[in-house]
């Protein structure tokens, strides 16, 4: 059986958790006034007949949620099934278990443990924060029908693709979801517009990173996608900016976006690109998922596939002299900007349990010998200090084979996390302080991880999309994490408070004015509007209000979400 205590740091990036008592608790009672969305049990909640009619409207694609953990409990959803439960527990860490479901999410903190497969059979199994229903969408008509239904009945709506979101954006109590997972069309096209002429890939909203990599590779091209193979391309990933193996060389995912097909909050089907509906194009390309409309397809730039090198490196903390360990880590981090400048992407992490890991660095277009040279000061330190280590380096004819060979499989989030984008300037002025904060984290039992990209791409016109220009000054995204308790929500809430109030501020104070990556952040991030969206916030809010005037789309820390809060039962209500 899978046990949380054995989860390695490797799970950190493909999973970081949070719980949903998330929202400012406020005074509002469970009123079902129009101030709040209609909730199951309210008189205004649609009758069975209305749901059945809606199901007919969407061609039988309506799914009533049965929490996947229900096989582990005796509840209204059925009875405990020992074998099915054991199988689910075994498969729980894998993203597939969740993205194939119309309701399950990968950040258990936000499930409220309402139907936790790791709690006792007689422990509760309720709907909790899972969506009540989902439409297994195949196109814009399903989107329009669903939006019309939620507007008519004042129901909360959620857009969900994979359920990867770390901040609880792709779930919600009492919600009807548009589930985009099965919209898998992919097409290589010749795109022609005043701003770009060349090869492009048009993909449906459900396409996942690995599918996009395989598709472009099969046609002799490559594209920007995440390190994690199972993240969806067109949803939260690209809309939130998106980093990954190609992003140092070609720019973040949002810079690749040429055109979005989207259904707005009023049910209009629009095409947004640099020539039409530019404001919507600008907002969707970097302004956050689940906010401005439901995307049905995304068209992105592709690049001829290219020779690539990659490397990974591990060395232990335990059994290594502390000062030697830190000297090697410090050398690696200090030299890491050379990786980014050379077009590499890197994921590295360290803690007292797993030691240091570079897992891996991908360098599209860089010869192996050059990569070896960049890593040599670190390797030299390891030899000097006689630290036993594992180092692999190789060169490939294509980016795809490099990715296939070196990139680790990701698991879901079993951590509580906070993060900060570390600006280049810290290397010149406060590097020593940065390293002492890292020592402090490790001594306190935290794990530190980073995803490193040069997102500056100084030839990219900064006003084309809403990727915050300050964010582009970052050398890496520093993520800190603590393990999530497998069954006790109260303990997790306390740990989250520690992350937000004690640990995260150390990096915030070191980097005044810096940002955090909205897709891999602390959902309780203070001043999140500025920290996630920068100076673009006010303009993004204008676009939000224009295309979603009724606030149909709500996502935790999404633009405009400060106008809503979640009540005691997690019902969504307007602040005013
Ligand atoms: C294991 C793991 C690995 C990760 N690796 C990377 C990485 O390598 N690089 C990186 O940049 N990020 C990474 N992330 C973060 C990732 O970018 C975010 O979790 C992102 O939100 C996932 O998008 P999704 O659409 O797949 O997920 P979902 O959880 O389904 O959706 C996320 C958000 O996007 C919205 N959304 C989804 N589809 C649509 C749509 N069609 N139209 C409008 N809104 C939509 C949802 O409403 C929600 O707000 C990782 C996360 C995890 C858990
Ligand atoms: C909530 O209610 C308490 C007591 O009833 C009151 O003191 C407080 O000001 C209220 N807060 C808000 C935000 O209305
Ligand atoms: C919701 O509104 C109905 C009237 O439409 C009322 O009868 C019911 O008690 C309300 N429910 C709650 C929880 O306030
Ligand atoms: C919707 O209709 C289909 C086909 O008739 C059916 O299989 C499915 O169970 C229905 N969904 C709900 C929620 O009733
Ligand atoms: C989430 O959990 C808290 C306490 O554990 C509870 O008060 C709240 O009602 C739960 N929310 C849902 C939607 O189950
Ligand atoms: C969702 O629809 C797809 C076809 O678009 C189908 O293959 C799949 O089985 C459906 N999933 C569920 C859970 O209904
Ligand atoms: C990122 O790349 C740009 C060139 O596009 C270069 O000028 C800049 O120095 C690089 N930044 C970092 C931190 O490596
Ligand atoms: C290096 O470490 C090995 C064991 O890991 C030990 O046998 C050897 O003596 C050490 N050499 C030096 C120079 O410290
Ligand atoms: C390093 O990469 C090799 C493939 O070249 C892989 O077999 C190994 O598991 C990787 N090690 C780590 C720690 O990721
Ligand atoms: C090394 O670090 C560990 C964990 O932080 C600590 O327990 C130990 O005392 C340290 N040893 C030395 C020699 O500093
Ligand atoms: C960072 O460095 C600057 C310039 O050296 C200094 O003024 C500032 O106090 C430092 N910040 C911290 C938190 O050490």
Which whole number is the average pLDDT over 45-60? 98
| pTM for the structure as a whole | 0.91
Q: Is the pLDDT of residue 576 over 90?
A: no
CA angle at residue 12 from 531 to 373, to 5 degrees? 90
Which whole number is the average pLDDT over 357-373? 97
pLDDT digits (tens, 9 = 90+) for 239-257: 999 999 999 999 999 999 9
Name the nearest CA neighbour of 113 among 493, 417, 481. Answer: 493
Q: Is the CB of 322 under 6 A from ligand 10?
A: yes
Buried b (16+ CB within 10 A) or exposed e, 539-572: bbbebbebbbeebbbbbbbbbbbeebbbbeebbb
Q: Is the CB of 321 under 6 A from ligand 10?
A: no
Tell me the two tokens of residue 201.
């890939």
Q: Is the CB of 42 under 6 A from ligand 3?
A: yes
List of residues 6+ apart from 555 with CB closer than 8 A: 159, 169, 170, 288, 289, 290, 291, 561
Q: Is the pLDDT of residue 559 over 50?
A: yes
Ligand 11, atom 1: closest residue by C-alpha? 430
Which whole number is the average pLDDT over 143-167? 97
CA angle at residue 304 from 298 to 309, to 5 degrees? 110
pLDDT digits (tens, 9 = 90+) for 371-401: 999 999 999 999 999 999 999 999 999 999 9
For residue 569, the model assigns a pLDDT of 86
Q: Is the pLDDT of residue 446 over 70?
A: yes
DSSP state of 11: G
Which whole number is the average pLDDT over 323-328? 98
For residue 408, the model assigns a pLDDT of 84
Distance from the CA of 494 to the center of ligand 10, in angstroms? 26
pLDDT digits (tens, 9 = 90+) for 99-117: 999 999 999 999 989 999 9
The helix or strand, by DSSP H or E, that contains position 306, with its residue range, turns out to be: none
Q: How far is CA 400 from CA 109, 210, 257, in A?
A: 34, 10, 21
CB 282 within 8 A of CB 162: no
- Cis ω before 360 (30° cut-off from 0): yes
CA angle at residue 548 from 45 to 26, to 5 degrees? 60
Q: Which residue has the tokens 């193996």?
A: 245
Ligand 1, atom 5: closest residue by C-alpha? 228
Name the nearest CA neighbour of 418 among 450, 387, 391. Answer: 450
Q: Where in the chain is the domain with CATH 3.40.462.20?
A: 308-533
Ligand 5, atom 1: closest residue by C-alpha? 112
The ligand 2 site (C-beta within 6 Å) comprises 26-27
Q: Which ligand number lies closest to the CA of residue 442? A: 10
Q: Is the pLDDT of residue 328 over 60?
A: yes
The Cβ of residue 376 has, within 10 Å, a number of other Cβ atoms equal to 11
Query: How many Cα neighbours within 13 Å face the side chain of 490?
Result: 0
Q: Is the CB of 436 under 6 A from ligand 11?
A: no
Q: Per-residue DSSP letters for 18-64?
A: --STTSPP-S--S--STTB-B-TTSTTSPPHHHHHHHHHHTTT-EEE
Which whole number is the average pLDDT over 336-357? 95
For residue 132, the model assigns a pLDDT of 98
Three state DSSP letters for 412-467:
CCCEEEEEEEEECHHHHHCHHHHHHHHHHHHHCCCEEEEEECCCCCCCCCCCCCCC
pLDDT digits (tens, 9 = 90+) for 175-216: 999 999 999 999 999 999 998 999 999 999 999 999 999 999
Q: Is the pLDDT of residue 28 over 80?
A: no
Q: Which ligand number lies closest to the CA of residue 569? A: 5
Architecture of domain 186-305: 2-Layer Sandwich (3.30)
The helix or strand, by DSSP H or E, that contains position 281, with its residue range, turns out to be: helix 278-284
When pLDDT is cut at 50, 70 and 90, the band that residue 482 belongs to is very high
Name the nearest CA neighbour of 370 among 345, 337, 395, 402. Answer: 395
pLDDT digits (tens, 9 = 90+) for 470-481: 998 899 999 999
Distance from the CA of 108 to the center of ligand 5, in angstroms? 13
To test the pocket of ligand 9, the residue of 13, 312, 363 to mutate (highest count of ligand atoms within 8 Å of its CB) is: 312
For residue 410, the model assigns a pLDDT of 86
Chain centroid offset of residue 573 CA? 25
Closest ligand 7 atom number to CA of residue 459: 5
Average pLDDT over the chain, rounded to an integer: 93
Q: Is the pLDDT of residue 8 over 60?
A: no
Distance from the CA of 91 to the center of ligand 6, in angstroms? 21
Of the listed ranges 6-15, 68-77, 176-185, 269-278, the least confidently predicted one is 6-15
Tell me the two tokens of residue 254.
């949002």
User: What is the Cα–Cα distance from 389 to 383, expressed in whole angstroms?
Assistant: 9
To test the pocket of ligand 11, the residue of 423, 425, 427, 429 to mutate (highest count of ligand atoms within 8 Å of its CB) is: 429
User: What is the Cα–Cα distance from 413 to 163, expressed in whole angstroms?
Assistant: 11
For residue 34, the model assigns a pLDDT of 67
Q: Where in the chain is the domain with CATH 3.30.465.10?
A: 186-305
When pLDDT is cut at 50, 70 and 90, the band that residue 568 belongs to is confident
pLDDT digits (tens, 9 = 90+) for 504-549: 999 999 999 999 999 999 999 999 999 999 999 999 999 999 999 9
Q: Is the pLDDT of residue 404 over 90?
A: yes
The ligand 1 site (C-beta within 6 Å) comprises 13-15, 106, 159-166, 169-170, 180, 205, 226-228, 231-232, 234-237, 239-240, 242-244, 289-290, 294-295, 410, 413, 519-520, 555
For residue 61, the model assigns a pLDDT of 98
Q: Is the CB of 383 under 6 A from ligand 6?
A: no
Architecture of domain 308-533: 3-Layer(aba) Sandwich (3.40)
For residue 33, the model assigns a pLDDT of 55
User: What is the Cα–Cα distance from 172 to 158, expressed in whole angstroms?
Assistant: 7
Positive or negative torsion for Cα 508, 509, 510, 513: positive
Q: Which ligand number lies closest to the CA of residue 576? A: 2
Chain centroid offset of residue 199 CA? 27
List of residues 6+ apart from 153 with CB closer than 8 A: 38, 44, 45, 46, 50
Closest ligand 8 atom number to CA of residue 388: 5
């Amino acid at each position: 059986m899978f046990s949380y205590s054995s989860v390695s740091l490797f799970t950190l990036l493909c999973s970081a958790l949070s719980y949903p008592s998330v929202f400012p608790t406020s005074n509002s009672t469970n009123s079902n006034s129009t101030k709040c969305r209609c909730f199951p049990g309210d008189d205004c909640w649609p009758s069975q007949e209305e749901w059945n009619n809606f199901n007919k409207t969407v061609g039988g694609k309506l799914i009533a949620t049965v929490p996947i953990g229900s096989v582990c409990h005796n509840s209204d959803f059925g009875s405990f099934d020992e074998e099915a439960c054991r199988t689910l527990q075994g498969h729980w860490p894998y993203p597939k278990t969740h993205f194939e479901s119309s309701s399950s999410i990968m950040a258990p903190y936000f499930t409220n443990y309402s139907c936790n497969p790791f709690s006792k059979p007689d422990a509760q199994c309720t709907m909790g924060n899972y969506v009540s229903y989902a439409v297994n969408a195949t196109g814009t008509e399903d989107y329009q029908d669903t939006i019309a239904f939620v507007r008519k009945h004042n129901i909360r709506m959620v857009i969900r693709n994979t359920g990867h979101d770390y901040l609880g954006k792709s779930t919600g109590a009492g919600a009807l979801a548009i589930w985009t997972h099965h919209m898998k069309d992919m097409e290589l096209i010749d795109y022609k517009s005043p701003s770009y002429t060349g090869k492009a890939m048009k993909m449906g909203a459900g396409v996942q990173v690995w599918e996009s990599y395989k598709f472009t590779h099969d046609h002799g091209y490559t594209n920007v996608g995440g390190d994690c193979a199972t993240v969806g391309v067109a949803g939260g990933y690209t809309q939130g900016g998106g980093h990954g193996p190609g992003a140092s060389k070609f720019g973040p995912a949002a810079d690749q976006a040429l055109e979005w097909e989207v259904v707005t909050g009023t049910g209009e089907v629009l095409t947004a690109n640099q020539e039409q509906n530019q404001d919507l194009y600008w907002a969707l390309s970097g302004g956050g998922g689940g906010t401005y409309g439901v995307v049905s397809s995304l068209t992105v730039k592709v690049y001829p596939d290219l020779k690539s090198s990659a490397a990974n490196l591990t060395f232990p903390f335990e059994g290594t002299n502390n000062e030697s360990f830190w000297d090697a880590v410090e050398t690696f981090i200090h030299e890491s900007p050379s990786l980014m400048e050379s077009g590499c992407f890197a994921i590295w992490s360290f803690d007292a349990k797993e030691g240091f890991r570079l897992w891996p660095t991908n360098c599209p277009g860089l010869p192996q010998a050059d990569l070896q040279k960049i890593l040599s000061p670190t390797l030299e330190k390891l030899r000097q200090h006689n630290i036993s280590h594992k180092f692999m380096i190789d060169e490939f004819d294509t980016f795809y084979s490099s990715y296939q060979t070196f990139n680790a499989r990701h698991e879901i989030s079993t951590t509580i996390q906070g993060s900060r984008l570390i600006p280049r300037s810290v290397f010149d002025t406060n590097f020593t302080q940065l390293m002492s904060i890292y020592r402090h984290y490790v001594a306190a039992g935290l794990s530190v991880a980073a995803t490193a990209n040069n997102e500056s791409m100084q030839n990219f016109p900064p006003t084309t999309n809403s990727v915050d220009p300050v964010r582009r000054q970052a050398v890496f995204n520093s993520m800190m994490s603590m393990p999530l308790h497998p069954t006790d929500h109260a303990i997790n809430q306390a740990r989250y408070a520690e992350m937000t109030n004690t640990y995260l501020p150390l990096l915030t104070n070191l980097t005044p004015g810096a940002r955090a990556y909205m897709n891999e952040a602390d959902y309780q991030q203070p001043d999140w509007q500025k920290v996630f969206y920068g100076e673009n916030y006010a303009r993004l809010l204008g676009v939000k209000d224009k295309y979603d005037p009724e606030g149909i789309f709500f996502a935790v820390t999404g633009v405009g979400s400060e106008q809503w809060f979640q009540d005691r039962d997690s019902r969504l209500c307007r602040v005013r």
